[in-house]
Structure 1
Amino acid sequence: MTLLELLENDSRLTAKELAAILEKEVGDIKKEISELEEQGVILGYKTIVDWDKTDREYVTALIEIKVIPQRDRGFDEIAGKICRYPEVKTVYLMSGGFDIAVLVEGKTMREVALFVAEKLALIESVTATATHFVLRRYKDKGVIYKAPDKDERGEGII
């Protein structure tokens, strides 16, 4: 594995642990990480939280957006505009039946629906949207969420 792969899998690994795994000096690992951060290769460090196990109420939606690309700017300007909304967590340019995929978080389905209707749909180049609400997460960013214990109350009943 490379340094980047190790950090992507577990950013909590210390420079000492990384050095041992990669058979390098701790100082070399620290220097390499610093250079990767300065070059913009490493953009940040995130924690994956299972919000369903907390008191936080929220809803996530995947929104498909069809747009008319702008002359000389393509999709970049529209994607940049969408990225600036705080509700938006992820933006991808896609191939297939729609152009841009957006992951949005809100407190309620209504809040997300209003965001789509009052903000995204009003962007001049947007021609259509389709909103899909996430009902349950099974795996996110390579991490499998623990499923609840199987309900076996109905087994054995004729």
Structure 2
Amino acid sequence: MKEVSELKRKVLDLLREDARYTPELLATMLGVTAEEVKKAIAELEEDHIIVKYATAINESKLDDEKVTSLIEVQITPERGRGFDAIAERVYLFPQVKSVYLMSGAYDLLVEVEGRNLKEVASFVSDKLSTLESVLSTKTHFILKKYKQDGVIFEDHEEDHRLMISP
């Protein structure tokens, strides 16, 4: 693993907060030159530390009827490759958004997105559970997202009532 400088760590922290920050703004915030920030970002991208710039979207505000599920998967690791081989087979499915190796009662946590419940159920029964190394699956459907990646999706109504004190 490559050592990451303090400047690069600060740039990463700020880009996690908002990927739209320009190098000039980051430079001002960090007290360095824009050229130093541009160089740091280029190196982070080259080293595959920054792999994507993403937008957090509140899907509930759209007309899309997407269904997201989290699937607990118990697997038998493959000799010589452990969990990596089966994880790779799982994450290559286009429906799969994320795959995590977990500690505890199950081995992989798989995030799957589909157009409806039937599509996700079909993926689990026809593709995921039929993989040779998969011992069991447990599917949880996400009903509502309150917060993701540090972003709160709920609209907060302020309480405009007057405070009454005795």
Does residue 17 in structure 1 map to residue 14 in structure 2? Answer: no
> 2:123 corresponds to which residue?
115
Gapped runs of 5+ residues in structure 1?
A: 151-158
CA apart distance, 1:149? 5.6
> 2:100 corresponds to which residue?
92
> 1:78 corresponds to which residue?
86
**Counterpart of 1:31 in 2: which secondary structure?**
helix
Distance 1:148 1:59 in 2: 24
> 2:69 corresponds to which residue?
61
CA apart distance, 1:147? 4.0
> 1:132 corresponds to which residue?
140
Distance 1:19 1:10 in 2: 14
> 1:155 corresponds to which residue?
none
Change (3 A) 1:148 1:29: closer
**Counterpart of 1:110 in 2: which secondary structure?**
helix
Distance 2:103 2:43 in 1: 33
Identity between Structure 1 and Structure 2 (%):
46
CA apart distance, 1:9? 1.1
CA apart distance, 1:57? 1.3
> 2:153 corresponds to which residue?
145
Distance 2:30 2:143 in 1: 40
Instruction: Say if 1:138 and 1:147, in contact at 8 Å, map to a contact too.
Output: no
TM-score (norm 1): 0.92
2:57 is aligned, of 39, 45, 49, to 49
Give the partner amino acid of 1:51. Answer: E
Change (3 A) 1:148 1:53: farther
> 1:36 corresponds to which residue?
44
**Counterpart of 1:43 in 2: which secondary structure?**
coil
Distance 1:148 1:34 in 2: 38
Gapped runs of 5+ residues in structure 2?
A: 1-8, 159-166
CA RMSD of aligned residues (A): 1.4
Does residue 105 in structure 1 map to residue 94 in structure 2? Answer: no
Distance 1:147 1:74 in 2: 44
Distance 1:11 1:48 in 2: 10
Change (3 A) 1:112 1:78: same
